[in-house]
Amino acid sequence: MPELPEVETVRRGLQPVLEGAVIARAEVNRPDLRWPLPERMAERLTGQRVTALRRRSKYLLADLSSGETLLVHLGMSGRMLVSGAQIGTFHHDHPAPQKHDHVVLHMEGGARVTFNDARRFGAMDLMPTDRAADNMLLKDLGPEPFGNDFNEPYLAGRLKGRRTPIKAALLDQRIVAGLGNIYVAETLYRARISPLRLAGDLEEGQVRALVPIIRDVLAEAIEAGGSSLRDFRQANGELGYFSKHFQVYDREGEPCETPGCPGMVTRSVQSGRSSFWCPACQR
């Protein structure tokens, strides 16, 4: 599932096409994705200007001139692809309609934004912009990793006394928004912390170090266009290249990249999910 860097990459790709532009016609080709789509969705989108395109955690939020906000979650295989517009140095012509093109936004000026989702685990919702923070998908989210509210004292307070593994704590969207399996693995490797360590047992210095490391990992991933493992594509259809820089994720059995470390990357299963780490240098 796309994590914060992938969703931010998509947002940045869509921004030049959507923000400030009018949806000339919205095309909704099925009644549901993971959940039922909003009533009269095509009608409510058609003719509206996108006043801002934001991201909250792993969700895209398009504020509309109608006073509503369109929420988009990409799910496991969702893609939002732009055609008929210049993105950077590339111009993508409109492709032939595809089987899984579930929602298509035809923009004034000829651009098209297509939401394609083969597995239909994605979601869309429409809600009043001034009450967006109360949406069931957003209301319990923790602070954004790049925001001022996410800092060393905050994280120390949230981890204090917790008897869950640090990996599970960092994956908890109520503690910090947007982190997923990939970037937690890379963060804990750089911090030299075992994913099996209990969050409440971390030393003060280790907790302090996590905040800047989380930000560094996410910033580098955004710069690389996210990570493409299976289905993720940027808005221009290109792959994300941070996967070429993985130090532990999906590298089971390979040598640890820490200079002088004799360890090998291993895979452990925690709550049904794979954890990749080096037992020799992550303690």
Instruction: Please check whether residues 91 and 184 belong to one and the same domain.
Output: no
Asked if residue 227 lies in contact with residue 239, where contact means CB atoms within 8 angstroms, the answer is no
One domain, residues 118 and 188: no
Report if pTM > 0.85.
Answer: yes
CA distance 29 to 175: 37
Pick the last residue of a domain from 78, 103, 134.
Answer: 134
- What type of residue sits at position 106? H
> How confident is residue 225, by pLDDT bands cut at 50, 70 and 90?
confident
> Please, are residues 202 and 193 in contact by the beta-carbon 8 Å criterion?
yes
Q: Is the pLDDT of residue 238 over 70?
A: no
Average pLDDT of the segment spanning 257-282: 95
Question: pLDDT by residue (tens digit) across 137-147?
Answer: 999 999 999 99
Predicted pLDDT at 2: 84
DSSP 41: H
What's the confidence (pLDDT) of residue 20? 97
At position 203, the amino acid (one-letter code) is E
Mean pLDDT, the chain, as a whole number? 91
- Residue-wise pLDDT tens digits, 51-78: 999 999 999 999 999 999 999 999 988 8
pLDDT in tens, 111-138: 999 999 999 999 999 999 999 999 999 9
Residue type, 223: E
Q: Domain count for the chain, please give it.
A: 2
282 falls within a domain: no
Distance from C-alpha of 88 to C-alpha of 212, rounded to nearest angstrom: 30
- The CATH number covering residue 267 comes to 1.10.8.50
- Are both 61 and 177 inside the same structural domain? no
238, 268: one domain = yes
Q: Do residues 14 and 113 touch, judged by C-beta distance below 8 A?
A: yes
pLDDT-derived band at 226, boundaries 50, 70, 90: confident
pLDDT exceeding 70 applies to what percent of the chain?
91
DSSP 3-state assignment of 249?
coil
Lowest mean pLDDT among 92-101, 115-124, 254-263: 92-101
Residue ranges making up the domain that contains 88:
4-134
In the chain, the N- to C-terminal Cα span, in Å, equals: 28
Average of per-residue pLDDT across 184-188: 96
Catalytic residues: 2-3, 58, 273
DSSP for 50-111, written as a single string = EEEEEEETTEEEEEETTSEEEEEE-TTTEEEEEESEEETTEEEPPPPP-TTEEEEEEETTS-
Answer with the residue of higher pLDDT: 275 or 86.
275
Tokens 């009608």 found at: 43
CATH number of 59's domain: 3.20.190.10
Give me the pLDDT at residue 97, please: 83
- 95 near 107, Cβ under 8 Å? no
Residues contacting residue 38 through CB under 8 Å, at least 6 positions apart: 44, 124, 125, 126
